[in-house]
Amino acid sequence: MDWPHDPDGEAGSEGRRKYGQAIIAKKVDDEDFPVSAEAFVDEFGDHPVRIDHERVLSVADIFEHVDEETFEDFPAFHTAVGEAMREAGYWPLELEHA
């Protein structure tokens, strides 16, 4: 896929310092809310997200697993994206629950 910017550059994962959900979270600010999933994907869907040292996916690929249509605030957005990434197997570390 041709990315609009290098997934490991300053516009992507800041020289590989940021991965996964952190990259998505930096695309919104508190004043952007409420935000719709459709509008977010329309604007950022083709942007790369480095999941781990081997995989790069698009924002659109990740949002295929997000069920919510609208996010009222940043915590709701962040929680929904995190849950979707875990359920899709895009979370590099899995925690065991007791």
For 20-65, write each residue's pLDDT tens digit.
Answer: 888 899 999 999 999 999 999 999 999 999 888 788 999 999 999 9
**Left, alpha or beta for 67 (phi > 0: left; psi -120 to 50: alpha)?**
alpha
- 83-98 residue pLDDT tens: 999 999 888 666 555 5
pLDDT for position 21: 84
Which has the higher per-residue pLDDT, 11 or 85? 85
Q: E-assigned strands of 6-89?
A: 35-36, 48-50, 56-58, 70-71
Strands 35-36 and 70-71: antiparallel
Beta bridge partners of 56: 50
pLDDT for position 14: 67
Predicted TM-score of the model (pTM): 0.82
